Amino acid sequence: MAAAHVLAWAVCVLRVALATVYFQEEFLDGERWRNRWVQSTNDSQLGHFRLSSGKFYGHKEKDKGLQTTQNGRFYAISARFKPFTNKGKTLVIQYTVKHEQKMDCGGGYIKVFPADVDQKNLNGKSQYYVMFGPDICGFDIKQVHVILHFKNQYHSNKKPIRCKVDGFTHLYTLILRPDLTYEVKIDGQAIESGSIEYDWNLTSLKKMEKFSAESEDREQKREDKPQDWEKHFLDAGASKPSDWNNELDGDWPAVMLQKPPYQDGLKPEGIEKDVWLHQKMKNTNYLTEYDLSEFENIGAIGLELWQVRSGTIFDNFLITDDEEYAENFGKATWGETKGPEREMDDIQAKEELKRAREEDEEEMLLMDKLDGKENVFKRFHRRNEL
């Protein structure tokens, strides 16, 4: 058993060592967070953030995060990290959000930006790669946004994903895999998954892209090659028959032979180099250009949103290529404080209820005293009249 435990521990350590963590923020160093995060100055009316763990929490220091502080404001803040591409890799985006104020209308989502984003001028028009997280407004909008940028357009997941609407901290995780599958988790539990190609209504775009590439291919072949040179080449030993009349019979069609496709570096047997007419025309650009979940220059994460009532706390930001690392990070942060947070809220609720009852009792006693004095006054006034 001991050996198995050691082996499991070693595998876990190796897994963590192999994970690439592009960005991780827990706000454990006090006010030094201001050296890493840049508040946008695009608008003087933008709301400000402060570091807070809120009115109730699981751990006073570990639960500190960026909290919105002003009602009816737009917010825009971001942090940079070393640029990277997720091409051919899994991309995991994760964070916690707590609507302590019981959100009535406002955003709780995050955005992942290109490395060249203008942080000082961050605003609603700033291009982003991914927008992910809860959005609440009234009774109708209580959803998790998953928006991807592709071909200069933003594409939303067509599946409705319901978000949490209570005042506790929740862990949101988005996983984009290189096989074009995705998964959305809340509090470590998968609530939606599927195909990026189909769940974002991108199949029509892919078909259009492929059709356009194939059309260009055919057009190029018509211009450069009147026939399919992928499969044929001229029969160098063939000659025009002596009785062929061009005026009556038309141009003599060259005799073609069929051979396997030519490959670079291989010389076709029995054919002179100058008559080899093979030209590779296969267009594969549409495959590499159609990267539904691949982004070349990821380099910043931020909050760009609107809130009617402030008080939301954002914490435990993570961008990595390893799903298991993200799961373990979630357990070590949100997983450790979620229970104590609810316990503290429950204690506060009971204390508040107790205070309310005591205030009601005091009010009743006061009313009784006032009623007693009024009765005494009435009796005294009646006796004087007599």
Residue ranges at the known binding site for an alpha-D-glucoside: 109, 111, 128, 135, 304
Under 8 Å between Cβ of 319 and 111:
no
Q: Where are the beta strands (DSSP E) in 57-164?
A: 65-68, 73-84, 91-99, 105-107, 110-114, 130-137, 141-150, 153-156
Distance CA 91, CA 291 (A): 13
Instruction: State CA 207 to chain mean position distance.
Output: 25
Q: How far apart are CA 362 and CA 204, in angstroms?
A: 69
SS3 150: strand
Instruction: Tell me phi and psi for residue 33, to 5 degrees.
Output: -60, -25
Cα–Cα distance for residue pair 300/22, rounded to 1 Å: 10
Angle (CA) 346-348-352 rounded to 5° is 115
φ and ψ of 253, to 5 deg? -75, 130
Binding residues: 109, 111, 128, 135, 304
The pairing of beta strand 37-39 with beta strand 105-107: unpaired
Q: How far is CA 63 from the centre of its chain?
A: 22
| Residues in contact with 158: Cβ distance below 8 Å, sequence separation at least 6, in sequence order | 199, 200, 201
Q: Report long-range pairs for 285-289 (Cβ below 8 Å, ≥24 apart).
A: 285/213, 286/209, 286/210, 286/212, 286/213, 289/209
